[in-house]
Structure 1
Amino acid sequence: MSTEEDDLAAAWGASLDDEGDADAVSAPAPDAAKVLNQAEIDSLLGFGGGAEETSRSGMERIIQSGLIAFERLPMLEIVFDRLVRLMSTTLRNFTSDNVEVSLDGMSSLRFGEYLDSIPLPAMMAVFKVDRWDNHGLLVVDSALIYSIVDVLLGGRRGTAAMRIEGRPYTTIERTLVERLVKVVLADLSAAFAPIAEVQFMFERLETNPRFGAISRLSNAVVLTRLRVDMEDRGGKIELLLPYATLEPVRELLLQQFMGEKFGRDSIWETHLAEELRDTDIALDVVLDEQTLPLSQMLSLQVGDHLTLAATPGAPVRLRCGDVAMFEGELGRRDQNMAVRIGRNLPRARRDAGAEEVAA
């Protein structure tokens, strides 16, 4: 047995020596530490060329990780889907033309990034959310502005709206776009109505993104792009809501469906209440209460009499379990004892009666 143990110990020592040699070979010297070259640094920061530019770099993922994704607010998508359906109807009445509104997409980004990406020229409508005490931004692009002006002023169908770039918008154009914005904001209020009663009120029109700032540049916002098509004409509407604006209804926007209530089922509550009304309960009439010694109670025999202090017409209490519910008058009907309920006992009296019984 000792020979086998010596062999095992020798084999174990040899294996440890082999691992130590392998570590010594594979371990790099302190001077040979890995240093990133320029190409790897450019790739990390997102400056690499070719197909690498199409994918988000590691640094961009780190920066964007703080954004709140709109996918975490499922009810918000339902609200904007309802807005699309409402706008399709109201814009047809507004323009007396065949209008189709579609949702191009939703995204989360920083407010400063959006201001830098607004395609100019465009009109920016700043609106206030009264109940939530914050603001939002609605941007109408140049194509839709000229299309709305052309439609409302009687332009011929089948022809594209004439665009004159490089000039400021006229008073007529601003007035017509303001009417369009108010129609859209009214539909937005109606879209949020099932969730919360809120009013989106128009404040002003701006053409310079610097004057349309409604939030800090680093704040997160949710951007919704709507496409408005009127036969051969149309354009885009971009609706921007900071997450700070949506904060008062964030709990409601987290719902998976309309009217969701976590941990509560109103149907079951109604059913339980109806069944409780049909439940049979026993009421005990307390004719008298006496305190007797235990020795007297033990000496009671069949045929003994206990004299009760209750007399005909005396007030008695009716109890359900240990809770006093009513006070009535004792009497007789035919050959039976009867009680006529006189009044309900207040809750304080009920609790006092229950405490007396417990004592």
Structure 2
Amino acid sequence: MSTDQFLTPDERAALMEVVSKKVRGTGSGSSAFLDGALPYDLSSQDYTVSSLLPVLDTIHERFAHRLRIGLFELVRRDLIVTVGSIEKRSYTDLTTSLSVPCSVNVIGMAPLSGPALLIFDQELIFMIVDTFFGGTGRPYKAASARDFTTTETRFIQRLIQLAFGCLEGAWEPFTKITCDHQGSETKPQFITALNPTELLAVSSVHISRDTISGIMHLALPYSILEPIRENLLNSLCKEHPNPSERLTERLREGVRDSQVDVRCFLAGFELMLSELLALGIGDVIPVNIPPKAILQVEDVPIYSGHYGVAQGWRALKIEQNLGLPGEWTEPPAAAPAHDFAPFTAKV
């Protein structure tokens, strides 16, 4: 079918100009857009992926941290997990760089639309199996390319489930995702779920021990990130706390059990150093004691009231809550008077 039925000569010329010059055209054709429309370069997605790299790096770091813990629980041995930088690669470039066989898994990350790739190279699979069964760490090289054994396939499934849990935890502060497994291949060229011309954000994690190592790749097509692009960019300026109810309760109990220095300040006076040195036994210093004393906690005035004696103890009758520094914009109103409570004061 001829393109003449869909595009006018002017429209074809405008598209060819954008593709050839790779510019965000703002010429005479821009008046056709509605007010507020954003310019979009049809020839490349590179600039849009670059804007997401900082937040994707953060997610990738969180993913690697969780993966390190999960691998220790899987093989009961510390593995060295090294995070690589995120690369912008085409689908064809990625698949041609992989050795055969490898475990290429098509995964879904709902609610993100479209599939992504989770790839384990054969060295990683061999290392995980060797470590789990207490191997010596000697690199394994098959005489010829072969499919994965039943045992290796079972470990691939365990790695997939481990990676899913780590991914969901890493993405949680930004957007809640649910991962699912859609298919697997040992030869990358047989994967047809992705567009060969799609631009991918590829993050790699290098896992090693002794003299053996392997690589895990996570390839995210830009098309699945486009719907949440604004949310990801906005999240760069926000903090994403990961609250723990158990930790919060322990901190609260610890604060309540903390000991603080409480003093009752009655009055003070100033002396010159020469006057202080001239004092002797029997000298009397006149002190004007105000009607109210100040109760200080860690040198911060908190309460005020009358000083007296209750049940044989020197005590402070709390009559006013002074609040924290800067809390009062006006002089605080007098609080209801309380009964004298036993209180040992340093005068």
TM-score bracket for this pair, using the shorter chain length: 0.5 to 0.7
Supply the distance in 2 between the matched residues of 1:216 and 1:122 (Cα, whole angstroms): 20
| Structure 2 residue 51 is the aligned partner of structure 1 residue 72 | yes
Supply the distance in 1 between the matched residues of 2:182 and 2:44 (Cα, whole angstroms). 33
Counterpart position of 2:146: 167
What are the Cα deviations for residues 110-142 of structure 1, in whole angstroms up to 9, with x where unaligned?
222222222222110111112123211011111
Task: For residue 186 of structure 1, give the secondary structure of its aligned residue in structure 2.
Answer: helix
CA positional deviation for 1:162: 5.4
- Whether contact under 8 Å (2:68, 2:79) holds in the other structure is yes
**Map of 1:227 onto structure 2:** 206
Partner amino acid for 1:102? Answer: T
* CA–CA distance in structure 2, aligned partners of residues 163 and 179 of structure 1: 23
* Alpha-carbon distance in 1 for matches of 2:137, 2:67: 22
State the match for 1:236 in structure 2.
Answer: 215
Which amino acid in the other structure matches residue 105 of structure 2? A
Paired residue type of 1:249? I
C-alpha distance in 1 between matches for 2:151 and 2:157: 10
Q: Distance in 2 between matches of 1:161 and 1:257?
A: 43
**CA distance 1:222–1:92, shift in 2 (3 Å):** same
Amino acid at match of 1:214: A
Cα distance in 2 between the residues matched to 1:167 and 1:105: 31
**Does the 8 Å contact 1:147/1:233 carry over to 2?**
yes
3-state SS of the aligned residue for 1:216?
Answer: coil
Q: What residue in structure 2 maps to residue 41 of structure 1?
A: none
State the partner residue of 2:195: 216
Question: What is the CA distance between 1:173 and its match in structure 2?
Answer: 1.2
Q: Give the match for residue 112 of structure 2.
A: 132
Partner of 1:143: 123
Change (3 A) 1:227 1:239: same
Query: 1:65: Cα distance to partner?
Result: 5.3
Q: Paired residue for 1:97? A: 77
Give me the whole-angstrom Cα distance separating, in 2, the residues matched to 1:66 and 1:90.
Answer: 34
**Structure 1, residues 176-222: CA drift from partner, whole Å, max 9, x if none?**
11211210121011100000110111222211223323221112111
User: C-alpha offsets along residues 142-191 of structure 1, whole Å, 9 cap, x if unaligned?
Assistant: 11111112122x13344334545422212221121121121012101110
Question: 1:209-244, CA deviations, whole angstroms, 9 ceiling, x for partnerless residues?
Answer: 233232211121111111011233220011101011
What corresponds to 1:187 in structure 2? Answer: 166
Return the match for 2:67 from 87, 110, 125: 87
Contact 2:57 2:85 in 1 (8 A): no
Number of residue pairs the alignment of both structures matches:
202
Judge conservation of contact 1:121–1:207 (CA < 8 Å) in 2: yes
8 Å CA contact 1:98, 1:231 repeated in 2: no
2:168 is aligned with 1:156: no
Asked if structure 1 preserves the Cα contact closer than 8 Å seen for 2:121 and 2:216, the reply is: yes
Question: For each residue in 1:4-43, what CA deviation from the matched residue of structure 2 results, as whole angstroms up to 9, or x when unmatched?
Answer: xxxxxxxxxxxxxxxxxxxxxxxxxxxxxxxxxxxxxxxx
Instruction: Give the RMSD, CA atoms, in angstroms.
Output: 2.7
Q: Following TM superposition, by how much is the alpha carbon of 1:72 offset from its aligned partner in structure 2, in angstroms? A: 0.8
CA contact (8 A) 2:206 2:216 kept: yes
Q: Distance in 1 between matches of 2:139 and 2:213?
A: 9
TM-score where L is the length of structure 2: 0.53
Whether the 8 Å CA contact 1:124–1:138 is kept in 2: the answer is yes
Asked if the contact 1:185–1:202 (Cα under 8 Å) also holds between the matched residues in 2, the reply is no
Give the AA of the match of 2:170: A
Unaligned runs of 5+ in 1: 1-62, 262-277, 281-359
Greater share of helix? 1
Is contact 1:111-1:218 (8 Å) kept? Answer: yes
Determine the C-alpha separation between the residues in 1 that align with 2:155 and 2:45: 39
The match for 1:259 among 238, 241, 244 is 238
Question: 1 CA distance for matches of 2:43 and 2:202?
Answer: 15
> Within 2, Cα distance between the matches of 1:248 and 1:76?
15
Q: Percent identity?
A: 23
Unaligned 5+ runs, structure 2? 1-41, 241-327, 331-347
Output aligned runs, 1:299-310, within 5 Å: none
Structure 1 contact 136–241 (Cα < 8 Å) conserved: yes
Output the TM-score relative to the length of structure 1.
Answer: 0.51
- Which one has the largest radius of gyration? 1
